[in-house]
Chains A and B, each alone.
Chain A
């Protein structure tokens, strides 16, 4: 066992003498692991939250029976089904207002609750007796307890009742209050009523549903994915794509560091072989060395990843809440598998990045063959091969655009585009530099271009990383900016009323409306309302819009028939949201049947409107028609048109007169501010990851230049010897780096715009269901170009400064040692 250790010690001695190379290697591995595992931690955190939500007493994971028209049904049906052998458990769901805030109240029956329904046993953690017998207990997630501002054991008031004492259950999804079914019936004032029956997995024979419940109940099969998972898939795919990108950019660094170290260690490896180390032993120890380094870097990367995830989590949570209403706890909790996966990805990444070098080591002959400077020939071959590969990848991308029709395909197009662009970058640089060389006249000028070309193979990986990071930055920046602009215009149209009121009850709404009618500054009272139903198996919202010029003039329609607003009036026509029209392939002139309590409601589609940020499909109908078909629709929402300078006093008057607070009444400006805030947070994670990726690309460039700087001395020393000052040499080196970086950045701009187009025209449409107009923002592009050049400048500055300050003796030695 001593022998491999000695060999390992010899191999490691290289890093001691070249700490910068070691740092490069470790930084590459650490940043790759950190960004990858950071993103994984975020995804995992969100997934745990979805699982919690889905598992909370019959989320989408459990098959359920619901009332035919989604209304409640008598609990005798539960008893009848049990008596017929059905393993069902009753549930009642409703909402309660505690301190003006609305919470979901779930009544469950712990004795029949199927054991496979998520965290059912948590009920029994306390005493069954105290849970089911008055006053009972109300189980809440710790987050919800915090939101309520109450303590364990407190008894809040709601619906004129004192609710059961609160009990914290860490496993529960936030936002729900869980009580015994009997207590829920009391609180919600729905004695003997149930809203659904959870079906356990027990397979005892039972009678058919129809023979027991007639047509009163409808079976809803479980879906493998929860609604939240389905909705948020695109968001996580987005995160994962960024994590993957950063991972690969990190691996670029690792690859260049290992490649350089290998080249430098070739003589050492030959000597080892000559001194009697067998090829197999040497290769084994090389792998052991790499794995050990990857282990150390992986651990450090995981710690960094943890901090990245912890730093981004609030933004991710905000994004998910804003986009999908998904509740993610703000505390990061990681499973052991995350740590193992992180270490594994670090090791695998290191092995992948070192594959070429390791393969070379394995094939390495002991005897050094004469190595003529055949770089030009080798480089040409390599360029041709890479370019051919690039063209093949572009062909794949084109085929995907043509034939692909999914979110994954959209991302695959993006990946193919970027991979192809990265592969073809060296060829583009080669051509650009060759053109430069042809135009140069002075000898130093010719050397400048020729030497840049020779440097290409060493720098190309780092430049590829820079290209990808820049392109993604341009792409994502353009998408966010496009979205932002479209969103703000859309918001102006959607928030057409000046004041928005949400009354506590229909009665109060009536009183408010009566009071408003006598106010001269109120130009229009616009009642609104929405109902929930389902279309094609998915939940949708039905929005009631009053027939008023405010909507006709402002409400943004993407497409419509000539007289769409007039067509709405009789109540047999509707507008559909863009998401819904894309999902269900609905077009103007199509007919749909909307299930309503009074029977199905046939509607003709007369327009399509944008509904950004809404995960649910939506249709808009005439308000009066809505209240006819959905008589239960709350009439508590009212919008007002008011003379601009009277808005503030009117709001104050309303607040005083009806005891409304900020949650119940808001002016247009406040609503817009809120919406914009949610919007901005939605993309803050994207922005942060964007910055990280660019940072990693900058590091890749820096490390490549640093490692190249050492090996370039033999090329520079002759120039110094023939009379170029060190300062002049340094300036030329800087200029060369900036030149290739500039070419790369200029190539990144059109690529980035292509990426943006893919995001807007393919990914967004698949992920969210809306297509945004494509805008180009020249200022943003110039800004990014400047950032890229600044990054290149920073990266080049350190090695160049070293060159400028280099002792002449160091340069002389290159002649002595050079053989």
Chain B
């Protein structure tokens, strides 16, 4: 089995770096994500979160990411999406070493999406020398010229306001992210179970950002506003060995309610559904494991892959039955480890916009 199918959603970070740098065999040399987490810190329930400290890196864990997606629109109402991600992976356990001996590998992804265009870029860095890193206070996450930086009056509980910057050969993004409400813990008070065999991560989000700024595609600037969502997650062994891929939704429901929902696919065809329903007051409740469903509908062919870019989501207990459609079905991230990530809109019992990510196809 190829290493790539071991990797799922945001947990693929390290694997992607490995692949980017040397092909499949390379990944076997270090942290295959389905491998045991010997030597790394374990994820256990009941951890007390502390901010701003937990905004910073957790080098005793194997993998970690800072992940922002934004649903935007311009003055004429045309929809856009933007992504800014920083992954970190430790090649071996132990406290971080100085200089080039540092064992952290960093990877950045950035993308912008419109109905007709999808642009993406990636970059890599070694830790220890300053090319990439994250500092908790004052908050700053960066790789090369890409940056996520706390602005004046930064509130650690809100992780806002922030400035987001990324630029590549054919696009760039500059956004200011503001939030009035506090961040929310996902899963069970920040303990996010990924299987019934102990795989888990620490997971919190800030789904309430208001975003404004400018994206530039092929030197054509567009001023945009909208909402944004940040995910923070770290773990040492987030996946079971037989989990093959991931379909992840972040949905902005009417009335400022938020829904985070994902489906983990297994080699044997079974799947697990996890998620949290977040109310405007910041209360976050886990979705029940049974009775709910995420079902693929229309597929899009990208290269020789088939991706289910339209979905039906039903959560009967919450009275939710929606169908989603992509803003741009070709929102393919042809990075070293490829996946699909792009803005969606949904209708049915609830209507709104959100983001979809699919890996392992």
**How far apart are the CA atoms of A123 and B22 in the complex, in Å?**
7
Q: Are the C-beta atoms of B30 and A182 separated by less than 8 Å?
A: no
Binds B, one of A126-134, A575-583, A701-709: A126-134
Q: Report chain B residues within 8 Å CB of A191.
A: 99
Q: Are the C-beta atoms of A128 and B91 separated by less than 8 Å?
A: yes
Give residues 604-643 of A contacting B (CB, 8 Å). none
B103 within 8 A of A: yes
Q: Are the C-beta atoms of B100 and A111 separated by less than 8 Å?
A: no
Given contacts A133-B103, A185-B100, contact A127 B145 (CB under 8 A): no
Q: Are the C-beta atoms of A203 and B169 separated by less than 8 Å?
A: yes
B111 CB, nearest partner CB in chain A, Å: 14
Q: Which of A182, A185, A191, A202 has the most B CB atoms < 10 Å from its CB?
A: A182
Given contacts A79-B130, A112-B124, A185-B100, contact A125 B22 (CB under 8 A): yes
Q: Which of A133, A192, A203 contacts B101 (CB 8 A)?
A: A133
Q: Are the C-beta atoms of A79 and B129 separated by less than 8 Å?
A: yes
Q: Are the C-beta atoms of B29 and A129 separated by less than 8 Å?
A: yes
Q: Which of A111, A203, A204, A206 contacts B126 (CB 8 A)?
A: A111
Give 1 or 0 for each of B98-109: 1 = CB within 8 Å of chain A CB: 011101010000
B92 within 8 A of A: yes
Binds B, one of A82-90, A231-239, A308-316, A722-730: A82-90
B155 CB, nearest partner CB in chain A, Å: 26
Question: Which residue of B is nearest A180, CB measured?
Answer: B100
Q: Are the C-beta atoms of A111 and B125 separated by less than 8 Å?
A: yes
Q: Report chain B residues within 8 Å CB of A121.
A: 22-23
Give residues 123-153 of A contacting B (CB, 8 Å). 123-130, 132-134
Q: How many A-B residue pairs have CB under 8 A?
A: 93
Question: Which residue of A is nearest B171, CB measured?
Answer: A204
Q: Report chain A residues within 8 Å CB of B129.
A: 75, 78-79
B14 CB, nearest partner CB in chain A, Å: 11
Q: Report chain A residues within 8 Å CB of B182.
A: none
A181 CB, nearest partner CB in chain B, Å: 6
Q: Are the C-beta atoms of A132 and B100 separated by less than 8 Å?
A: yes
Q: Are the C-beta atoms of A82 and B92 separated by less than 8 Å?
A: no
Question: Which residue of B is nearest A90, CB measured?
Answer: B129
Q: Report chain A residues within 8 Å CB of B26.
A: 124-128
**How far apart are the CA atoms of A183 and B103 in the complex, in Å?**
14
Q: Which of B22, B99, B121 contacts A182 (CB 8 A)?
A: B99
Q: Which of A79, A130, A206 has the most B CB atoms < 10 Å from its CB?
A: A79
Q: Report chain A residues within 8 Å CB of B84.
A: none
B167 within 8 A of A: yes
B79 within 8 A of A: no
Give residues 164-210 of B contacting A (CB, 8 Å). 167-169, 172
**How far apart are the CA atoms of A203 and B167 in the complex, in Å?**
10
A655 within 8 A of B: no
A109 within 8 A of B: yes
B18 within 8 A of A: yes
Q: Report chain B residues within 8 Å CB of A79.
A: 129-131
Interface size on A, residues (CB 8 A): 36
Q: Are the C-beta atoms of B22 and A85 separated by less than 8 Å?
A: no
Q: Report chain A residues within 8 Å CB of B121.
A: 204
B302 within 8 A of A: no
Q: Report chain B residues within 8 Å CB of A181.
A: 100
Question: Which residue of B is nearest A122, CB measured?
Answer: B22
Q: Are the C-beta atoms of A85 and B167 separated by less than 8 Å?
A: yes
A236 CB, nearest partner CB in chain B, Å: 35
Q: Are the C-beta atoms of A129 and B92 separated by less than 8 Å?
A: yes
Question: Which residue of A is nearest B169, CB measured?
Answer: A203
Given contacts A112-B125, A112-B131, contact A129 B91 (CB under 8 A): yes
**How far apart are the CA atoms of A727 and B219 in the complex, in Å?**
93
A110 within 8 A of B: yes
Q: Which of A76, A126, A192, A202 contacts B169 (CB 8 A)?
A: A202
Q: Which of B30, B142, B145 contacts A129 (CB 8 A)?
A: B30
Question: Which residue of B is nearest A127, CB measured?
Answer: B29
Q: Report chain A residues within 8 Å CB of B100.
A: 109, 132, 180-183, 185
Q: Report chain A residues within 8 Å CB of B38.
A: none
B21 within 8 A of A: yes
A205 within 8 A of B: yes
**How far apart are the CA atoms of A6 and B39 in the complex, in Å?**
81
B144 within 8 A of A: yes
**How far apart are the CA atoms of A31 and B5 in the complex, in Å?**
57
Question: Which residue of B is nearest A80, CB measured?
Answer: B130
Give 1 or 0 for each of A177-188: 1 = CB within 8 Å of chain B CB: 000111101000
A194 CB, nearest partner CB in chain B, Å: 11
B130 CB, nearest partner CB in chain A, Å: 4
**How far apart are the CA atoms of A689 and B257 in the complex, in Å?**
85
Question: Which residue of A is nearest B21, CB measured?
Answer: A124
Q: Are the C-beta atoms of A128 and B29 separated by less than 8 Å?
A: yes
Q: Are the C-beta atoms of B101 and A182 separated by less than 8 Å?
A: yes
Q: Which 4 A-B pairs have the closest CB atoms?
A: A124-B22, A182-B100, A127-B29, A85-B145
On B, residues with C-beta under 8 Å from A are: 18, 21-23, 25-26, 29-30, 91-92, 99-101, 103, 105, 121, 124-126, 129-131, 142, 144-145, 167-169, 172
16 A–B contacts, CB within 8 A, in A order: A82-B131, A83-B130, A109-B100, A111-B124, A111-B126, A121-B22, A121-B23, A123-B22, A124-B21, A125-B23, A126-B22, A127-B26, A128-B18, A128-B26, A133-B92, A204-B169
On A, residues with C-beta under 8 Å from B are: 75-76, 78-79, 82-85, 109-112, 121, 123-130, 132-134, 180-183, 185, 191-192, 202-206
Known: A82-B144, A124-B22. 18 other contacts (CB 8 A): A79-B131, A83-B131, A85-B145, A85-B167, A112-B125, A112-B131, A121-B23, A123-B22, A128-B18, A128-B22, A128-B30, A129-B30, A133-B92, A133-B103, A183-B100, A202-B169, A204-B145, A204-B167
